Each structure stands twice: as C-alpha cells, then as structure tokens.
Structure 1
Amino acid sequence: MKRQKLLKVAGGALAAAMSLAMLAGCSGNTTSGSSSTGETGTASESSTAGETTGTEKNKLAFFLPMTGDQMQYGESLSRGAELALKQYNEKNGTDYVIEIMDDKGDPKEAVNVANLIVSDPTVIAGMGSFSSSCAMAAAPVFEEADLLLFSPNASHTDFPAMGENMFSAVMSQKYEGAEFADALIEMFGAQNVAILYQNTDHGVIATDVFTKQYEAGGGKVIMSETFIPGQTKDFSPVLSRIKEQDPDLFYVNASYNDCAQIFMQAKALNMDCQLVGPGMLLTEEFLDVVGNKIDGTIVMSSVPAFLPSVLESGELDAASKNFVDSYTAEYNEVPDGFAASAFDAVNIVLDAVAKVGTDTPALREELKTLRDYPGVSGYNMSFNEQKEMVKGIYLFEIQDGQFVRVK
C-alpha cells in the first residue's frame, strides 16, 4: 500500500504558484507530506512520499479560512478532510492527495485561489469553502473551467444553481429553515412565535424560509426583529417589545455568543415562553456561559453534535462513533459538525470517483444520484433534482446545563 500524502500550502498567490511550479519541475514526482502554513507566500515541506505522473488526477484541493477570524472553522474542516483521506487511502490502497489553501474567509482571495486550483491538471475537484460567500465567489471560476466544486459547508440557497458543477455537503438554508418550522409545529403545535435574528445573509434567508413554512403549517409569526451581530450588547429594549406580544415560542437565529446574551437577558426579564435556538449553539462555550439557567431551551440543527452529554447517551450510530473515536485519537480533541461535514464531503467525492473515474461530467452525474447516504454529518443525505442537499435534522434540549438529544 502506498503511503498517504497530505500537502498544505498557504493561500496567497505566491505560495500556490511556487507549489505548482515545484510539481511541474519534478518530472512526474509529487513532493508531498505535512506542511505548515505561515506568512502568506510561504509553505515549509516536511517529507516526500510516493510518485505520480504529472497529469494524473489524484488531488482534492480545499480552500478554507486557515488564518483570520474564521480560522477555527477552517481548522476543523481541514482536519475532518484529512482524516477522511487517510482512512480512505488505507482502506482502498489508493494514493489520493489533499491540498489545503488559505482563502482567509475573503471572497476576493477565494477567487484568486480558485484560479490556481483550476490551473492544476492533477485536481479532481475543488473543495471549499467554509462560507457561502467564498464558495459563491469562486463558483464561476470552476464552472468556466468545467471542474467540480464540492463545498463542505456552503448552505446559501443560490449556490447549487450557480452551475452544473456546484454541490454541497450541507443542507440548503431553505430546507433547513422549513424543517425547523415543521419540527416546532410537531413538538408544540401551531403557536405564536416571535423571532430575533442576526442581520446577515444567512439570518435573513433562514428567517424568511422559516416564517413562510411555519405560517403555512398554521402557526403565526407575530413579531420579527433583527440586529447586527457582534455589536449589540444590551438586548433588553427589543426583548421588552417581544415580551409585550406574549409569544408562545421565542426563536433566536444567531451565533452562540449573541444567543447566550439574548437568552440570559430574556430570563432576567422573566419572559414566559419556550426558547428555541439554532445549531450554532451546540458548543461547550455556549454551555459555559448559560449553565443550567436556560434549561428547557430547544436547539435545532442539521448537523450532529459530539459533545460529552451526547456521547454519553450512547445514541451515536456505529459510523459516527468510529468517526468520533478516530478523530479524537488523531487530534486529541472531539470533532464538531464542521469536521464531520468535511469528512463526508471527501468520502462522497472519492466514492463517486471509484465508480466513474475523475472526469467532471461523469462525476457530477454520479453525484446527482446520491440518495440516503449514511454520513456522519447527517442521516439520509440525498441530493434532490436541483442538486440541493436534503437530510434529517437533530433536536436537542438543554437539561441540567447539558445538551440532550430529543427522541
């Protein structure tokens, strides 16, 4: 069995160009291994393994935020991808390569990196990015080059329709929002709900979809307010207005930092309603802030959580447990949903390659047939006729300061 080869390069144009130049200058040899990403335009190589021909398609090229404010998400995604590749190569005797390039969470940089990726003849598919904005900025580059772009995390409703080659491992916002609405109606019946959401593309789209689906199911959105994330600290004025409307449910769509403050301030105002939050809350950091003060809060997510309380429940299926155990052994930390999404993305693409080869038209046709895939980032993962990912959702309740899966 050939050794696995992993290559990380910096996201700046100079670093990627240097890497491509080295590949071209090796007369069919690929220099690879684990490399550290530092200043833009630098990448240090630590090992050499194996040989490939200069035109053999054997690479998945990721572009992720490996520096900047979103780097923690890029790190999780890259680790999940690398673990998937390692296991796939060991199981199948293959010698695929991952290249990770830094888009810094910047759509302009994502375009620069995309142009470098499509110019590399060894690339099977581009794999990025963390944000929908970066993936969508890069999409026209991949479409023009007729190269597959499979994102591990782009959830914007418009992304799959940007070309024949666009796919994502996560559920489109319109399906996620609709399933959230249906889940609340199933749990609590058709009620009056107030919504407070962050003024971002994701917040606006998700809230619009949720509202339409919830009201189509007989419920009523009696109030919908927005705020700028990261800037508002005192939510008491808007919470007081919401309290006056006496909602049955209060749904907050925001990051865990903002949600923690909103829910704690809502409790301080003695708001007597069911609190509901999004999957972004499924972090230990959120629980560290709220403790058991908001017990009973419902959290809805299209990706699983591998937190201690969930792991201790013994409810994980065999594949998810193996993923968690392998990831923890490899990186000495428990994975999150982002790592799981990247893990699934790599396996889905390589499984398709095993069936039809690396030709882009054949790959995209094969991916369209994906149905009920047993992933670790969701169950019953399927692409619909519009190439949109649809899968089941997870429901949690905070009990004694811990997330507990709602059966």
Structure 2
Amino acid sequence: MGNWKVATVAATVLTMVFAAGCGGKAETKTESKEIKIGGNFEMTGGVAQYGQSAANGIKLAFKEANAAGGVLGKQLTLIIADNKSEPAESANAATKLISQDKVVALIGPAASANVLASVPVATDSKIPLLTPTGTNTKITVENGKVKDYIFRSCFIDPFQGAIMANFASKDLKAKTAVLYVDSSSDYSKGLAQVFGDNFTKNGGKVLATEAFLQKDQDFKSALTKIKATNPDVIYIPAYYEEASKIIKQARELGIMIPMLGTDGWDSPKLPEIAGAAALANTFFSNHYSAQDKDPRVVKFVEAYKKEYNQDPDALAVLGYDGALMMIDAIKRANSTEPAKIKEALAQTKNLQVVTGMLSMDANHDPIKSAVIIEMKDGKQTFRTKVNP
C-alpha cells in the first residue's frame, strides 16, 4: 500500500472518529462501503491447519453474506494477519490489524494460547475479539472477572473434558486411565485436570500422569511406562501433530487399548501421520460431525466442498459459525462501532448456526452441544451427540 493511500485511510478514520464523538453519525458521513474485520490466524507454523480451516469458514460466510446484499448496506472485508502459530506473533498480528488496518472487530486466533496473547491488545484497544475455536476458560473469564470485549463461539474445555470422562466410564466401561499431557500447553493441562476429576467422580482411578512437550518426536519411553501400568484407556488432550505420533508409536509398542482425545485431534493430518490402522479404537470430542444428517450441516458441507474442493473439518465449521455470530451482532447493533458490536455479541440469543442453536451466557461463552467422533478405517465417524 502506497503512502498516499495510507494517508487517505488515516484521514477517513479520523473523520469517522471525530463525527462519532460529535454525535454518533460517523456511518452516515463516511463514504466507506466496507466493514473491515480482522482475522488473526495460524496460517503457517505448528497448527496452520487450524488457522487455515477457520479462515476458510469465515471467508465462505462473508462471501455468502456479501452476495446477499452485505451487512448494513456494506460489504464485509476479512483482513488476515498470520500469527505463525506463536503467542508473541499473535499479539503482533492483533496490534497490526487494529492500528494499521483499522478493523472494527477481530475473529481468531484458533489456538487458546494464541488467543490469550491477543486478549490484552484487543481489551486495551476496546475492539471486540471473538475466537471461534479457543476453548480455554481463561480466554473469557479470569480470577472471576468476565473480560468485557472478549467472546467465543465454541464450547469450553470443562465441557469436553467431562464429556470424555463420562464416555470412558459409561460407554467404554473403563475403570482405570492414564493421562498423557502436553506440559507446555495450558489447553492440555486444563483438559487433563477436568477429565481426571470427572473420571474419579465416576468411580474410576487415574493410575498415572505422563508428560511430553510440543514438538517432541519420540514418545516411546513414556509409552513404555504407561504400558506397564496396564490402564483401560489413555487420555491424550493434545493437538493433532503430537497426538498422531503418540498413537502411532503406542500401537507399535503393542498398546491396543482405547485412546481418547479432544477437538485438537481434528485434522486430515491425523490419519496421514498415525496411519488408518493405528487409529482403530480411538475417540475424541468435537464440535460437529460431517456425517450428521442435520440439513444445516449437509448444506454447509456441500457449500464448503464446492468452494474449496475439500471436506470441512470442525475448525472450518467453527470459523463459519463464528462469522455468522459476528454478522448477526453487527446487524443487531445496526452499527460498526466496536462498543456497540461488543454489546450485541454479549446479547446473542437463540442464533441458529451450523453446529446448533447458540446463546451467550454471562461469561461470554456459548451454550451449545458437542459430538464424540470415532475413527474407523482412518475416517471420522459420528458416534454420539451430547447436549449441555
């Protein structure tokens, strides 16, 4: 972008701010025909699959909305900044989108650690941030205080951790479990805690907790120790790259018991790395299943495949649903002012999205259902749906 264009944009923004301060009529005075939304996503790096899928879902939702006449008579523009799957880069991306690109709201990042790094930037700038996929409870509430400008459109970790503990106890009849945790990830540690607490409440026993670090390649030493405890199930709350390698190496060591995971497993890379055979007898909690026969799911899957020539994973549908939530909020706010969008997001109620009916609770977390996926022949199959 040339310097004269930067100056023009800056002048336009200053005009809007001045007009808003003098009577709230900025939108009638500006000639802008677009609503700029920032997409802070993992386009490269360790969890690029997540960021790319979520961004694709948002792009599809925006394309459909724009084709139907836009929002408030304007076209939605998604400006993406690559956070490179790193917390520090996520904060930088948020800063760039807000200060340089002048977005009125942020969607993303995908991974909880990257969302948490972006929260102070959005909060200080009074720009609403909506993560479609970040499940860590601290994103929206910390030390009992709800973060005014921060929202999510996906379920939270305690919900999916409890779901899998109940599934292990009641469906798989497991009496003993081992937790294999990514000690470099708050996401993994938090989920392990919730699973362990609920599994114990159900009468089960956690025999051991083993740890690994993100980017580890060799898991056989810990897996050998796990094998010696002879558990009924292993719970691995982790992202797909490490989870797939753990599963593959566990099977090579003759560990054939059920292995349970989380939405972090959801990626086409899981069967690519682990191998279809190794994934037999594995299950994970997720936000939706492409095999769900709900008409909204069927319609979304068809539209996504037509647009991108690939099947949508959960991150794609969550990106799409997050975009629908943002669009709905802007329409109800009848404004592109960040403070008004923030208020409308907080008041979201009974919004029909692909993954179900969505309403915000007092903690800026949605009340919605989840599914459990079983891997068969390297493919995700719908096992059951769990309502909140």
Which TM-score bucket, shorter chain as reference?
0.7 to 0.9
Does structure 2 retain, via aligned residues, the 8 Å contact 1:260–1:286? yes
Q: Which has the higher contact order (CA 8 A, sep 6+)?
A: 2
* Counterpart for residue 180 of structure 2: 196
* Counterpart for residue 306 of structure 2: 329
Number of equivalent positions: 363
Does structure 1 retain, via aligned residues, the 8 Å contact 2:61–2:320? yes
**Which runs of 5 or more residues in structure 1 are unaligned?**
1-14, 29-51
* Counterpart for residue 215 of structure 1: 200
Cα deviation per residue 1:328-373 (whole Å; 9 max; x = unaligned)?
A: 2122222222221111111101112212223444433433343454
Q: What's the % identity of the aligned pairs?
A: 24
In the TM superposition, 1:75-114 aligns within 5 A as: 75-94=52-71, 95-114=75-94
Whether 1:354 and 2:339 are equivalent positions in the alignment is no
Cα distance, 1:157 vs structure 2: 1.6
* Counterpart for residue 262 of structure 2: 278
Helix, strand or coil at the partner of 2:78: strand
Whether 1:125 and 2:76 are equivalent positions in the alignment is no
Does structure 2 retain, via aligned residues, the 8 Å contact 1:264–1:293? no
Does structure 2 retain, via aligned residues, the 8 Å contact 1:17–1:116? no
Does structure 2 retain, via aligned residues, the 8 Å contact 1:57–1:123? no
* Counterpart for residue 141 of structure 1: 121
Cα deviation per residue 1:74-109 (whole Å; 9 max; x = unaligned)?
A: 322222111101111222443222222233333333
Does structure 2 retain, via aligned residues, the 8 Å contact 1:105–1:134? yes
Q: Give the 3 Å change call, closer, same or farther, for CA 386–303 of structure 1 in structure 2.
A: same
Does structure 1 retain, via aligned residues, the 8 Å contact 2:262–2:286? no
Does structure 2 retain, via aligned residues, the 8 Å contact 1:275–1:296? no
Cα distance, 1:22 vs structure 2: 4.9
Q: Which residue identity lines up with residue 212 of structure 2 in the other structure?
A: F
Does structure 2 retain, via aligned residues, the 8 Å contact 1:257–1:286? yes
* Counterpart for residue 383 of structure 2: 406
Distance in 1, Cα, partners of 2:77 & 2:131: 17
Helix, strand or coil at the partner of 2:356: coil
Q: Which residue identity lines up with residue 104 of structure 1 in the other structure?
A: K
Q: Give the 3 Å change call, closer, same or farther, for CA 103–263 of structure 1 in structure 2.
A: closer
- What's the C-alpha RMSD, in Å, of the aligned pairs? 3.2
* Counterpart for residue 352 of structure 2: 374
Q: Give the 3 Å change call, closer, same or farther, for CA 379–191 of structure 1 in structure 2.
A: farther
Does structure 2 retain, via aligned residues, the 8 Å contact 1:24–1:54? no
Distance in 1, Cα, partners of 2:238 & 2:341: 36
* Counterpart for residue 224 of structure 1: 209
Does structure 1 retain, via aligned residues, the 8 Å contact 2:234–2:258? yes
* Counterpart for residue 245 of structure 1: 229
Distance in 1, Cα, partners of 2:244 & 2:70: 47
Does structure 2 retain, via aligned residues, the 8 Å contact 1:155–1:171? yes
2:168 to 179, 184, 189: 184
Helix, strand or coil at the partner of 1:363: helix
Cα distance, 1:218 vs structure 2: 2.3
Distance in 2, Cα, partners of 1:249 & 1:319: 34
Distance in 2, Cα, partners of 1:132 & 1:143: 16
Helix, strand or coil at the partner of 2:353: coil
* Counterpart for residue 387 of structure 1: 364
Cα distance, 1:292 vs structure 2: 4.8
Does structure 2 retain, via aligned residues, the 8 Å contact 1:60–1:98? yes
Q: Give the 3 Å change call, closer, same or farther, for CA 217–333 of structure 1 in structure 2.
A: same
1:363 to 341, 348, 360: 341
Q: Give the 3 Å change call, closer, same or farther, for CA 326–192 of structure 1 in structure 2.
A: same
* Counterpart for residue 23 of structure 2: none
Distance in 1, Cα, partners of 2:51 & 2:3: 21
Does structure 2 retain, via aligned residues, the 8 Å contact 1:169–1:345? yes
**Which runs of 5 or more residues in structure 2 are unaligned?**
15-28
TM-score by length of 2: 0.81
Helix, strand or coil at the partner of 1:138: helix
Q: Give the 3 Å change call, closer, same or farther, for CA 357–123 of structure 1 in structure 2.
A: farther
* Counterpart for residue 32 of structure 1: none
* Counterpart for residue 23 of structure 1: 9
Helix, strand or coil at the partner of 1:58: strand
Does structure 2 retain, via aligned residues, the 8 Å contact 1:66–1:75? yes
Does structure 1 retain, via aligned residues, the 8 Å contact 2:136–2:156? yes
Helix, strand or coil at the partner of 1:66: coil
Does structure 2 retain, via aligned residues, the 8 Å contact 1:300–1:393? no
Cα distance, 1:290 vs structure 2: 4.4
Helix, strand or coil at the partner of 1:233: coil
Does structure 1 retain, via aligned residues, the 8 Å contact 2:160–2:262? no
Distance in 1, Cα, partners of 2:117 & 2:260: 32
Cα distance, 1:148 vs structure 2: 1.0
Does structure 2 retain, via aligned residues, the 8 Å contact 1:58–1:122? no
Cα distance, 1:173 vs structure 2: 2.0
TM-score by length of 1: 0.78
Does structure 1 retain, via aligned residues, the 8 Å contact 2:40–2:93? yes
Which 10-residue stretch deviates more, 126-135 or 64-73? 64-73
* Counterpart for residue 6 of structure 1: none
* Counterpart for residue 218 of structure 2: 233
Does structure 2 retain, via aligned residues, the 8 Å contact 1:356–1:366? yes
Cα deviation per residue 1:19-77 (whole Å; 9 max; x = unaligned)?
A: 7545246899xxxxxxxxxxxxxxxxxxxxxxx92577722122223344444433222
Give 1 or 2: higher helix fraction: 2
